[in-house]
Amino acid sequence: MNSVYHIFVRRLSTQQKHYKLVIIGAGCGGLACASKFAKKLSKDQIAIIDKNDTHVYQPGWTLAGAGLKTPDELEKPQSQCIPTNTTWIQSNANQIEPEKNFVQLENGSKISYDYLIVASGIQTRLDKIKGAIEALDNHPQHVVSMYSRKYVRNVYNTLNHFRGGQAIFTFPSTPIKCPGAPQKIMYLADDIFRRNNVRDKTTISYNTALPVIFGVKKYAAALMEIVKAKNIQLNTRLNLVEVCADKKEAIFENLDQPGTMKTFKYDLLHIAAPMTPYEFLAKSSLADANGFVDVIKETLQHKKFSNVFAIGDCTNLPTSKTAAAIAASNSILVRNLTNIMEGKSDAVPKYDGYTSCPLVTGFNKCILAEFDFDGQPLETLPINQAKERFLSYIMKKDMMPNLYWNMLIRGTWNGPAVFRKLFHLGMSK
């Protein structure tokens, strides 16, 4: 009887660990915040929940798709990325009870917290397109997607061996991470086809669910010129719903006439995956009607639960889902949450929605789009960034990966606002 009692007590204590701060997700946003808090709290005060043992630099997938990086050089063991001064709980969270301040893990155990940061990203859902996974698995010489750790490995090989025909690049009807990426890979493919002397035997189409090529007018205008110069066909308001790999047909719904389908023949199809919030979040009371964490956009604090914050792709922040947005917002989150933890009311700048999309438009060329919540350009450099530039390309290809690994996830990169101020101050003198 005595030993049963002790087992029960031991179980309770292992099943209900408590931390001052719990972070769900050790991706870009989770680690940026964890690294900052690791300097303020002790290892037994801060826990990071994430099952994945590999950390992937996802912005590099576009470059890997074009053979400019290898998928392997975009990955590191998670154990090398998690700050040492934190406790890593290697599991998935499968339930959040913000009313009771606990997170439940897959094995049923509960982790309670004083403060919570949600940073679990967004789910890639190739399964939402009928036949897409079957096509990617069984017809890799015709159907590719860089929006997946598994399938990105095949993209460059297929693009490089393409010998001409109809090439279609898609953009889905859901929010996605880095909305510029589906066209970046298209421009790089265009250059690969030219290099391999098959461009004149190839028709390239960009079939996008959006009504425009890009959401920010200044960059959209520049991209329209590029699309024209490259002889790319832009088809708007088309959402890929089915792939019939045997017939090499892609079926799109016309979003202006719901229920009306249009079939395109293809020889090469690049699929940008639809994405959805994770179910465990969507069903929690942290979520808005679309399943994203409902935060105050200037502070990243939850609208209802004041001890909960969220960052990155899992949030309903009305800006593009990018690592750049995390860079610009993580210090704001950390300062706001620190104020709450310490009962202070120190002034904290408001997040302006800064996000960035380095739109690689070919080998050695890039438009560096930077903008805010209102879709207004917020450019760092004192030059017109809508122009294709080698400098922007080098920043995307070589500088940004280094910034990510050595500064952003280490909690020491807060975005380029400081340089923007410096450059613009210099100009106004």
Residue with tokens 């004041």: 306
By CB under 6 A, residue 92 contacts ligand FAD: yes
Residue from 19, 102, 278, 309 touching ligand FAD (CB under 6 A): that is 278
Q: Yes or no: say if 56 and 147 are a contact pair by the CB < 8 Å rule.
A: no
Which member of 81, 178, 314, 366 is catalytic?
Answer: 178
**CB 92 → ligand FAD: shortest distance, Å?**
4
**CB 50 → ligand FAD: shortest distance, Å?**
4
In whole angstroms, give the CA distance from residue 218 to residue 214: 9
Specify whether 81 is catalytic. Answer: no
Indicate the residue type of 24. I
**CB 90 → ligand FAD: shortest distance, Å?**
10
DSSP, residue by residue, 360-395: EEETTEEEEEEE-TTS-B--SSSS-TTS-BHHHHHI
By CB under 6 A, residue 109 contacts ligand FAD: no
Residue in the shown chain whose Cβ atom is closest to ligand FAD: 27
Of 49-57, 188-196, 301-309, 411-419, the segment contacting ligand FAD by CB under 6 A is: 49-57
Nearest to 264 by CA among 249, 254, 253: 249
CB crowding 333-366: b at 16 or more within 10 Å, else e:
bbbbbbeebeeeeeebeebbbbbbbbbbbbbebb
Of 15-23, 57-65, 228-236, 248-256, the segment contacting ligand FAD by CB under 6 A is: 57-65
By CB under 6 A, residue 286 contacts ligand FAD: no
Q: CB nearer to ligand FAD: give 249 or 372.
A: 372
Number of helices (H), then strands (E), belonging to the chain: the values are: 12, 21
Residue with tokens 């792939």: 243
Footprint of ligand FAD on 218-237 (CB under 6 A): none
Residue with tokens 């009807």: 173
Token pair listed for 258: 């719901």
Of 175-183, 233-241, 365-373, 420-428, the segment contacting ligand FAD by CB under 6 A is: 175-183
Q: CB nearer to ligand FAD: give 82 or 243.
A: 82
**CB 370 → ligand FAD: shortest distance, Å?**
10
Give, for 165, the enclosing helix (H) or strand (E): strand 165-171
In whole angstroms, give the CA distance from residue 12 to residue 19: 15
By CB under 6 A, residue 322 contacts ligand FAD: yes
Query: What DSSP designation does 53 have?
Result: S
By CB under 6 A, residue 71 contacts ligand FAD: no
By CB under 6 A, residue 159 contacts ligand FAD: no
Q: CB nearer to ligand FAD: give 41 or 103.
A: 103
Specify whether 366 is catalytic. Answer: no
Nearest to 413 by CA among 24, 25, 33, 22: 33
By CB under 6 A, residue 93 contacts ligand FAD: yes
Angle at 152 between CA 151 and CA 156, to 5 degrees: 120
DSSP reduced 3-state for 22: strand
User: Which residues are CB-neighbours of 247 under 8 A, at least 6 positions away?
Assistant: none
**CB 120 → ligand FAD: shortest distance, Å?**
4
Site string for ligand FAD, 339-378 (x = CB under 6 A): -----------------x-x--------------------
Token pair listed for 395: 């920043």
- Binding residues for ligand FAD (CB under 6 A): 24-30, 49-50, 52, 58-59, 61-62, 92-93, 119-121, 146-147, 177-178, 181, 278, 280, 312-314, 321-324, 326, 356, 358
Catalytic (active-site) positions: 178, 357
